[in-house]
Structure 1
Amino acid sequence: MALRPQLLDRWGRPVDRSALVEERTATTIGSVRSPVSGYPADGLNPIRLAQILREADHGNPIRYLELAEQIEERDPHYLGVLSTRKRSVSQIDISVEAASDSAEDVARADMVREWLKRDELTDDLFDILDAVGKGYSFTLIGWDVSEGQWMPATLDRQDPRWFRFERGDLMTPVKITDNGAEAPLDPFRYIFATIRAKSGLHLRSGLARVAAWGWMFKAFTLRDWSIFTQTYGQPLRLGKWHQGASEREKDLLFQAVANIAGDCAAIIPAGMEIAFIESKTVGASADLYEKRADWFDRQISKAVLGQTATTDAIAGGHAVGKEHRKVQEDIERADCKALAAILNRDLIRPWMDLEFGPSKNYPRLKIERPEAEDLVALSSALEKLVPLGLEVEASEIRDRFHLSEPKPGAKILVPPAMKPADPPPSDPNAPPATDPRERNGVIERISAKIKRGPASSGGDVALQAEGASTGENSGGSPEAALAARMQVEAAPGIDLMVDQISIMLERAGSLEEFRGMLLAAFPSLHAEGLAQTMAMGLMVADLAGRASAEGDDA
């Protein structure tokens, strides 16, 4: 019995196949994998935020990861632009390239294509792309071996708080065991995704670090705006008491003035007075808070999407929006390439190694949005180039137009020229119609003659070399000499038309199709040269006839 080869992961660690199917410790409150999260955003200020980021830089990212979660929960704008970036990639169709054209490699690629049809894939990719905000993410691969095969059954998002990075380099990921110790990741068990907003450590490459500062200052602005609105958004209530009012009466007046803000109703003793004083600068002051909050939102849009036109209404209209959309597409393409590389490295290669053993080449996932193609221009080009002899595979054109191969017996659309025309009205003086079998026989003879080429159609044309004497080729007859010369002069034009017709015959699948191709291409046949030669021949014949007539008269 042949021994299976020893598999190694990306870090060179041996793979334990039995460990890949072991159940993971469930998430429980009070354990290392606790679902309960802290709330470091409560009361956040610049000093606390700096401390949180420094902790992450030294290898303790718990509070930073919890803060990143809270920012997504509390800032609708950040949540919106970050989700847009992740969903635009997670919904793009994934294609698979086989390692080679061999039957085995094609079968492996088909197996991957079949697996990609799973309904949960979009949500799985969205979770993997959590690395866009935090800088990295972990996904547990659940392997299915129920039928003796290795197949990725589930892709489960893992809380990044359950992982750390080795203290020596702060780059190699490790997991936190049940007893709180750090241990290497199980080979072939995790998808470790990193999508960096900047170069450097994974802990410092996420967008959440930038968003944290913007969100904190915007939170200050929104808090001040709320206080301002409550204080100055309503007119100032001023209570006046009469001379000699007691403390109880003053307290009663203050209570009434205070209650007006919420209850909008109060009673006071006679003789007391309440005045409402409106602020004249409320509108101008409130605009400052709104502009400041909008400015922070635009900075977050630039950091996440690279532009602002698709998220904020700005001057410039449609043209500016199109230019900004190109910037977003550049970021989308970069995310697609990064995600495809991650899946090829941490999912496809381990899967193929477990199922078939190590190999030099593997199927490759490609995540890319198809480029828009001008199919009208393509149709116009084909209409002109195909009759000239351009050879194009029908299957390739069908793929470009996203059309399937016609099935046997299916109703097929044909050009109007190929459809049977209505019979013309009967004419009693018209000659009898040609029998279809006779017409088909004529077409077959013409087709055979064209395929044989001008050289095999007889010796007449071949003998009519330019410069041959009239007596040698025509026996001295002027009519025969003129006809022989016409054959020589018309040969190039006829050859050009014959070449076009020969190409049509080779492409046509039936005589009806050949007829349709002839009718469709008739206006564009190269007949100018032949027409000029015939005109010259007619003119020479006319002059020759006139000269002969004058000679007879003489």
Structure 2
Amino acid sequence: MIFDWFKTARRRKEALFAQQTETGGGLTPMLYLERWGNMTNKLTPSRLASILQAADDGDITEQHVLFSDMEDRCEHLAAEIGKRKRALLTLDWEILPGRAKDKRAEDVAAAVREQFDMLPTTSDLLLDLADGIGHGFAALEIEWAQAGGLHIPAAFHHRPQSWFQVLRENRNELRLRDGSYEGAVLWPFGWVIHTHRSKSGWLPRVGLFRTVAWAYLIRAYALESAIMYMQVHGLPFRLGKYPPGSREEDKAALKTALANLGRDASGIIPQGMEILFESPANATQDIPGILVTRCEQGMSKAILGGTLTTQADGKTSTNALGEVHNEVRHDILTSDAAQIAATITRQIIAPLAYLNCGVSEPALLPYFRFDTRQAEDIQVFADALPKLAAVMDIPAAWAHEKLKIPQAEEGEKVLSVRQQEGPQPPAPLTAQARTGGKADPYPDQTAIDAMLPEASLSAACADLLAPLMDEIREGMEPVELLVRLGDLYPKLDTATLQELMARAIFLATVVGEASAAEEADGDA
């Protein structure tokens, strides 16, 4: 609890002036690594079982040395856990005010944001904390410094998990290994201890590498079998024949020659003996290779939640399944981000607020948050929102949040679409418009079109078709309307249309005569 942290923090502040591992408060760094060496050498099922059982009993040193070796020696494991760690670097983050609804909480959050910006590279901090995904916990020792009268971490030093031990009575409490039975208590303000729970249980059991340890071991056996097979069957068999009655010395010489042929392709044999080279039969199934693939797929499932975002076999891999697996990866990323954000809040943000702002009230403490929201399909929203806005009230802030588009601040330039005021009728398709802005080849016709008001022509057509429209409004079917067309024809009002046609013919005659006169004058 954060209350317990503040009570402990008030008692001791040694970590503000020194580091616990460099003042004799913990183990000498490389002693335990030299003692255990490389745990993957001659690793057997019984040996792995004993290492995991020892961790369950409270001795976690061998387990975490093994986990580090696994990540060093297995390129597939390193690649998959690396993807999961680095996914955190793609997220935006923010520091928000505490739950107290007053200005003081906002002022504290603003001050802590400025202090947090003074920290070393945030990406290194996140990657070091994400090391707890595989091991179950990650330990970073803080090196404090003074900057403008403020206590600011100058560095976060990652410490190997093998430097720590758990209490036998409480296996969720970490202690620094110093040779004593219970270990050294970690200094307040001196550490960032991130516990990452991939599954429930005691601290020695929550690491993800416990789940993939058996797949790692089986994969190692399969690779060793594949190498041995290549050494033996990758080259032609060398078969020596000796005649009956050969002496033991001659047989030994023949055997030595066969051995030398495998190393340096040279050798001598007595006269009368023979060496034959036989090519081995091709294996129908690559059993070790299949086993390696299955182990690697198991690792991918445990680490990333699926295999289609890692490797595709061309058979079961589809785009739809890949999208599903990617959604699973996002769920895992959200879980990782929430756990790491909680650690940063409790063990970095809270000390900064306490030391530099004098804040110890939980309601005033800011908190760290990753933005794990995914933007919705902007094309779908662009099509749906105008239609929905006509029948319901949609807050603009909600749309901005869903699309992850920030709201414009006061005075900030925004994108906009310029629209003319009032309804605008479509422009008539004139000859110039048809020719794409080139010279009008029919200026006379264009002049006549401009002289005839479009509104008058529409009104004339409306008067002409009025009887037909009345019948349609009364429910008459189109087939019946065709039958009655002969009866309705005398009722059609053609007076307005006849008047417009007469004007058009008159205008056409006048414009035609004027054009003819201009052409005659030009020819003269």
Same fold at TM > 0.5:
yes
Equivalent position amino acid for 2:45 in 1 = P
Per-residue deviation, 1:133: 0.8
Equivalent position amino acid for 1:401 in 2 = I
Question: Tell me, what secondary structure is at the counterpart of 1:284?
Answer: coil
Structure-2 residue corresponding to 1:193: 194
341, 366, 370: which one pairs with 2:369? Answer: 366
Matches of 2:259 and 2:42, distance apart in 1? 28
The question of 1:375 aligning with 2:378 is answered yes
Per-residue deviation, 1:381: 5.3
Structure-1 residue corresponding to 2:339: 338
Structure-2 residue corresponding to 1:217: 218
Matches within 5 A, 1:274-285: 274-280=275-281, 282-285=282-285
Q: Deviations over 1:213-261 (max 9, x none)?
A: 2211221222122112211222211012334444444333323322333
The question of 1:15 aligning with 2:10 is answered yes
Per-residue deviation, 1:143: 2.7
Structure-2 residue corresponding to 1:106: 106
The answer to whether the Cα contact below 8 Å between 1:90 and 1:125 also exists between their aligned partners in 2 is yes
Matches within 5 A, 1:25-424: 25-26=21-22, 32-34=28-30, 36-37=33-34, 38-99=37-98, 102-117=102-117, 120-177=121-178, 182-266=183-267, 268=269, 270-280=271-281, 282-285=282-285, 287-314=286-313, 315-356=316-357, 357-361=359-363, 362-380=365-383, 383=386, 400-402=404-406, 405=409, 414-415=417-418, 417=420
Per-residue deviation, 1:390: 6.2
The answer to whether the Cα contact below 8 Å between 1:307 and 1:327 also exists between their aligned partners in 2 is yes
The answer to whether the Cα contact below 8 Å between 2:13 and 2:189 also exists between their aligned partners in 1 is no
Matches of 2:277 and 2:12, distance apart in 1? 79
Mean Cα displacement is larger for which, 237-246 or 328-337?
Answer: 237-246
The answer to whether the Cα contact below 8 Å between 1:8 and 1:15 also exists between their aligned partners in 2 is no
Matches of 1:27 and 1:235, distance apart in 2? 62
Matches within 5 A, 1:398-477: 400-402=404-406, 405=409, 414-415=417-418, 417=420
Matches of 1:31 and 1:411, distance apart in 2? 59
Equivalent position amino acid for 1:34 in 2 = M
Distance 1:216 1:94, change over 3 A: same
Equivalent position amino acid for 1:360 in 2 = P
Matches of 1:168 and 1:387, distance apart in 2? 65
Mean Cα displacement is larger for which, 125-134 or 87-96?
Answer: 87-96
Distance 1:247 1:385, change over 3 A: closer
Per-residue deviation, 1:192: 1.4
Per-residue deviation, 1:112: 3.7
What is the total number of aligned residue pairs between the two structures?
A: 422
Distance 1:22 1:181, change over 3 A: farther
Distance 1:394 1:15, change over 3 A: closer
Matches of 1:414 and 1:165, distance apart in 2? 64
Matches of 1:213 and 1:397, distance apart in 2? 47
Per-residue deviation, 1:34: 2.1
Per-residue deviation, 1:126: 0.9
Matches of 2:57 and 2:391, distance apart in 1? 70
The answer to whether the Cα contact below 8 Å between 2:61 and 2:164 also exists between their aligned partners in 1 is no
Question: Tell me, what secondary structure is at the counterpart of 1:186?
Answer: coil
Distance 1:393 1:292, change over 3 A: closer
Question: Tell me, what secondary structure is at the counterpart of 1:94?
Answer: strand
Matches of 1:313 and 1:377, distance apart in 2? 30
Higher RCO by CA contacts (8 Å cutoff, separation 6 or greater): 2
The answer to whether the Cα contact below 8 Å between 1:32 and 1:176 also exists between their aligned partners in 2 is no
Matches of 1:308 and 1:158, distance apart in 2? 32
Matches of 2:318 and 2:398, distance apart in 1? 42
Q: Deviations over 1:399-454 (max 9, x none)?
A: 9534755868x797652638xx9xxx9x9xx9xxxxxxxxxxxxxxxxxxxxxxxx
The answer to whether the Cα contact below 8 Å between 1:375 and 1:401 also exists between their aligned partners in 2 is no
Q: Deviations over 1:46-96 (max 9, x none)?
A: 222222222222222111111111111111111111111111124422122
Matches of 2:235 and 2:84, distance apart in 1? 41
Q: Deviations over 1:138-161 (max 9, x none)?
A: 112233334222323322212222
Equivalent position amino acid for 2:8 in 1 = R
Q: Taking every aligned residue pair, what percent have the same amino acid on both sides?
A: 28
Question: Tell me, what secondary structure is at the counterpart of 1:13?
Answer: helix
Per-residue deviation, 1:383: 4.8
Distance 1:339 1:394, change over 3 A: closer
The answer to whether the Cα contact below 8 Å between 1:165 and 1:173 also exists between their aligned partners in 2 is yes
Equivalent position amino acid for 2:324 in 1 = E
Matches of 2:219 and 2:404, distance apart in 1? 49
Distance 1:101 1:395, change over 3 A: farther
Equivalent position amino acid for 2:95 in 1 = V
Under a length normalisation based on structure 2, what TM-score does the superposition of the two structures give? 0.70
Matches of 1:210 and 1:386, distance apart in 2? 50
Matches of 2:154 and 2:187, distance apart in 1? 17
Distance 1:320 1:411, change over 3 A: closer
Matches of 1:178 and 1:331, distance apart in 2? 38
Q: Deviations over 1:333-365 (max 9, x none)?
A: 111111111111111122212222212322111
Structure-2 residue corresponding to 1:491: none
Matches of 1:208 and 1:111, distance apart in 2? 39
Under a length normalisation based on structure 1, what TM-score does the superposition of the two structures give? 0.66
Matches of 2:396 and 2:318, distance apart in 1? 43
Question: Tell me, what secondary structure is at the counterpart of 1:253?
Answer: helix
Question: Tell me, what secondary structure is at the counterpart of 1:237?
Answer: strand
Equivalent position amino acid for 2:306 in 1 = Q
Matches of 2:27 and 2:153, distance apart in 1? 28
Per-residue deviation, 1:181: 6.5
Question: Tell me, what secondary structure is at the counterpart of 2:223?
Answer: helix
Q: Deviations over 1:486-540 (max 9, x none)?
A: xxxxxxxxxxxxxxxxxxxxxxxxxxxxxxxxxxxxxxxxxxxxxxxxx99xxxx
Matches of 2:301 and 2:390, distance apart in 1? 52
